[in-house]
């Protein structure tokens, strides 16, 4: 996979995680552990994106 393809894939994953976080936070009986885990995943993806864009 090309560098641009990988960046595009990670950007898409980042948006999906953001949508999942928003959806979970809107639920009346939201699971805070799930939200915390999704935020960690989003942060990891963001860091990967930063590293790839820097190279």
Looking at residue 50, what is its pLDDT? 96
Give pLDDT tens digits for 7-26: 999 999 999 999 999 999 99
- Residue 55 pLDDT more than 90? no
Closest among 25, 26, 43, 46 to 34, alpha carbons compared: 25
Distances (CA, A) of 30 to 18, 37, 43, 44, 50: 15, 13, 20, 22, 30
Residue 28 DSSP one-character state: T
Q: Both tokens of residue 9?
A: 């894939």
Looking at residue 1, what is its pLDDT? 76
Looking at residue 46, what is its pLDDT? 97
Give pLDDT tens digits for 31-54: 999 999 999 999 999 999 999 999
If residue 16 lies in a helix (H) or strand (E), which one and from where to where?
helix 3-26
Cα 27 from Cα 2, distance rounded (Å): 38
């Amino acid at each position: 996979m090309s560098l641009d393809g990988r960046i595009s894939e990670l950007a898409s994953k980042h948006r999906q995680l953001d949508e999942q976080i928003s959806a979970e936070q809107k639920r009346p009986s939201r699971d805070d552990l799930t939200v915390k885990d999704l935020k960690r995943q989003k942060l990891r993806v963001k860091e990967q994106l930063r590293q790839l864009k820097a190279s």
